[in-house]
């Protein structure tokens, strides 16, 4: 009886055991300008680490020393340089550990938003002994100190870069932990399943088999289907994060640049009646229905002996390879010729990754002539533009699977795909009556993969990669 009891205790312990995070925690004090470089109302210098208060106090002259005041209070004073002269009047905000963004002792000095002033204060703090923070180092510390998990840390960078309502919504939800909660509950489900398998393994000497393999398969299928719905949601997540790339393609003179200008409501691209006016790729952003669209105007596609135009045409073709939507423009005032046929054929090669919308241009010039299944527009009068905007938004919106969690990050998608492969192998092994050990190994692999999303399991390289793309001061 006693050995059995011990095994049960081990089982429960195993269920809740976690993997260790193998990262190196820094203990020095870092500083950086947290606001964008340039002139502005104010600039903020952030100092974080064990000596943040001491270093700030070396330059700060206010009613009281910052190390003597309570956390989450602000204090007016002057900041004195190494030569004893006043650099600027500042407002210092105190955040005592662990109740700060990084979880460390933190001071934020707000000074006048001049380039010289903010740099001078930062240099002085560095002279006092602080180290210049690397990209994303404040957020990296927030993660290492357990203030946020890795998915939330990545969301901080996405939130800063958000350019549309949708990308803001997706990054805000991730920052609030929606993805992390979903991943953690999937991990818990897997931990329980693999724990059961291991428990039966422990009892194998006694010849005991008490697990219903069909139930285990059902559990694996349920986790897989949620992970799969996350992978599927990446299609929307990528759109939210990077915007939708819309390539405007067509023969010369069909009205590509006119359409770009009309959608932007400005004369961005040169428009003339000379075929071959646009020779380079022009990209501009617009937001329609809360979604960011990256409009790309290209050189008209035709046979050309002109070196510059040929290069432009080559670039047009290259742009289509990475397009999410291709607008195929056809001008009813021009005859349908070989160039149209070639263009139609080359666009059809991209129909696996891009939605193709056919557009009939210059509707003001033709009365009643309609190209089948095309949206008729006029860049001159604006007719049909509303319908085109609708078609653009409906090309990228749709049903988001699972419980509305959207993957916006390619790292997360690749990890989910890896986890799916491990889960598929585990299911396959169960169907072929493989040993519990083998199945459990694959479940552990899936667990480790999912843990990489939230940072339960991580490495220095992964962290360097993630935080290296942040800005300094974040």
Write the DSSP assignment of 117-154 as a string of letters. HHHHHHHHHHHTT-EE--BTHHHHHHHHTTSS-HHHHH
**Nearest to residue 300, comparing CAs of 308, 288, 292?**
308
The distance of closest approach from Cβ of residue 137 to ligand GTP in the complex, given in angstroms and rounded to an integer, is 47
429 is an interface residue for Mg ion by CB under 5 A? no
SS3 206: helix
User: Of 229 and 277, which has the nearer Cβ to Mg ion?
Assistant: 277
Strand partners, 288: 291
Segment holding 255, helix H or strand E: none
- Token code pair at residue 447: 């667990």
Out of 102, 278, 436, 440, the only residue in the binding site for Mg ion (CB under 5 A) is: 278
SS3 69: coil
The distance of closest approach from Cβ of residue 394 to Mg ion in the complex, given in angstroms and rounded to an integer, is 26
361 is an interface residue for ligand GTP by CB under 6 A? yes
By CB under 6 A, the residues from 413 to 472 that bind ligand GTP are none
Phi, psi of 345 (to 5 degrees): -65, -45
257 is an interface residue for ligand GTP by CB under 6 A? yes
The site partner of 258 among ligand GTP, Mg ion, none (C-beta below 5 to 8 Å per kind) is ligand GTP
Whether the CB-CB separation of 248 and 295 falls below 8 Å is answered with yes
By CB under 5 A, the residues from 54 to 73 that bind Mg ion are none
- Token code pair at residue 241: 């994060």
User: Of 188 and 266, which has the nearer Cβ to ligand GTP?
Assistant: 266
**Nearest to residue 98, comparing CAs of 55, 141, 44, 150?**
141
139-147, 343-351, 362-370, 452-460 -> range binding ligand GTP (CB under 6 A): 362-370
User: Of 23 and 339, which has the nearer Cβ to ligand GTP?
Assistant: 339
Whether the CB-CB separation of 72 and 83 falls below 8 Å is answered with no
**Nearest to residue 240, comparing CAs of 139, 172, 342?**
172
User: Of 170 and 347, which has the nearer Cβ to ligand GTP?
Assistant: 347
Whether the CB-CB separation of 182 and 403 falls below 8 Å is answered with yes
The distance of closest approach from Cβ of residue 331 to ligand GTP in the complex, given in angstroms and rounded to an integer, is 8
194 is an interface residue for ligand GTP by CB under 6 A? no
Site string for ligand GTP, 113-152 (x = CB under 6 A): ----------------------------------------
Out of 96, 182, 238, 256, the only residue in the binding site for ligand GTP (CB under 6 A) is: 256
328 is an interface residue for ligand GTP by CB under 6 A? no
102 is an interface residue for ligand GTP by CB under 6 A? no
Beta strands in 24-120 (DSSP E): 30-33, 40-48, 60-62, 74-80, 86-95, 106-113
Q: Total residues at the site for ligand GTP (CB under 6 A)? A: 24
The distance of closest approach from Cβ of residue 313 to ligand GTP in the complex, given in angstroms and rounded to an integer, is 10
Give me the sign of the Cα torsion angle 74, 80, 82, 84: negative
24-32, 171-179, 276-284, 371-379 -> range binding Mg ion (CB under 5 A): 276-284
The distance of closest approach from Cβ of residue 129 to ligand GTP in the complex, given in angstroms and rounded to an integer, is 59
Enumerate helices (H) and strands (E) in the chain, giving the number of each: 15, 13
CA 77 to mean position of chain CA atoms: 39
User: Of 94 and 278, which has the nearer Cβ to Mg ion?
Assistant: 278
By CB under 5 A, the residues from 242 to 271 that bind Mg ion are 256-257
Residues near ligand GTP (CB under 6 A): 250, 252-258, 271-273, 275-278, 299-300, 361-362, 364-365, 378-380
Q: List contacts with Mg ion (CB under 5 A).
A: 256-257, 277-278
């Amino acid at each position: 009886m006693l050995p059995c009891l011990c095994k049960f205790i081990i089982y429960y312990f195993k269920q809740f055991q976690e993997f260790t995070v193998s990262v190196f925690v820094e203990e020095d004090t870092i500083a950086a300008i947290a606001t964008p470089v340039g002139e502005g109302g104010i600039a903020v210098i952030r100092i974080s680490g064990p000596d943040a208060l001491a270093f700030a106090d070396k330059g700060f002259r206010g009613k009281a020393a910052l190390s003597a005041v309570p956390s989450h209070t602000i204090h007016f004073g002057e900041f004195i340089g190494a030569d004893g002269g006043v650099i600027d009047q500042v407002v210092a905000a105190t955040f005592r550990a662990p109740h700060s963004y990084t979880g460390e002792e933190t001071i934020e000095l707000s000074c006048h938003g001049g380039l010289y002033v903010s740099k001078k204060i930062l240099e002085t703090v560095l002279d006092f002994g602080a180290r210049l923070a690397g990209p994303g180092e404040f957020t990296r510390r927030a993660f290492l100190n357990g203030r946020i998990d890795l998915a939330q840390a990545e969301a901080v960078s996405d939130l800063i870069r958000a350019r549309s309502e949708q990308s803001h919504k997706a990054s805000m939800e991730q920052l609030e932990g929606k993805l992390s909660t979903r991943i953690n509950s999937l991990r818990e489900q897997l931990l329980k399943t693999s724990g059961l398998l291991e428990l039966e393994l422990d009892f194998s000497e006694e010849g005991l088999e008490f697990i219903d393999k069909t139930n285990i398969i059902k559990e694996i299928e349920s986790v897989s289907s949620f992970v799969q719905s996350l992978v599927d949601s990446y299609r929307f997540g990528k759109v939210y994060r990077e915007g939708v790339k819309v390539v405007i393609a067509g023969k010369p003179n069909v009205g590509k640049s006119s359409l770009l200008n009309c959608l932007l409501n400005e004369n961005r691209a040169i428009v003339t009646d000379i075929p071959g006016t646009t020779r380079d790729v022009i990209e501009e952003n617009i937001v329609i229905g809360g979604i960011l669209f990256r409009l790309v105007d290209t050189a008209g596609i035709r046979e050309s002996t002109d070196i510059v135009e040929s290069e432009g045409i080559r670039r047009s073709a290259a742009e289509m390879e990475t397009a999410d939507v291709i607008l195929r423009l056809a001008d009813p005032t021009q005859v349908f010729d070989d160039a149209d046929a070639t263009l139609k054929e080359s666009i059809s090669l991209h129909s696996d990754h891009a939605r193709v919308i056919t557009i009939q241009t210059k509707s003001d010039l033709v009365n009643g002539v309609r190209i089948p299944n095309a949206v008729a527009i006029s860049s001159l009068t604006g007719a049909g533009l509303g319908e085109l905007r609708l078609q653009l938004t409906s090309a990228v919106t749709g049903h988001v699977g699972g419980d509305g969690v959207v993957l916006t990050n390619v790292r997360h998608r690749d990890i989910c795909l890896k986890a799916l492969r491990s889960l598929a192998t585990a299911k396959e092994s169960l169907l072929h009556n493989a040993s519990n050990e083998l199945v459990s190994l694959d479940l552990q692999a899936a667990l480790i993969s999912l843990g990489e999303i939230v940072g339960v399991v991580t490495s220095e390289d992964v962290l360097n990669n993630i935080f290296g793309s942040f800005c300094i001061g974040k």
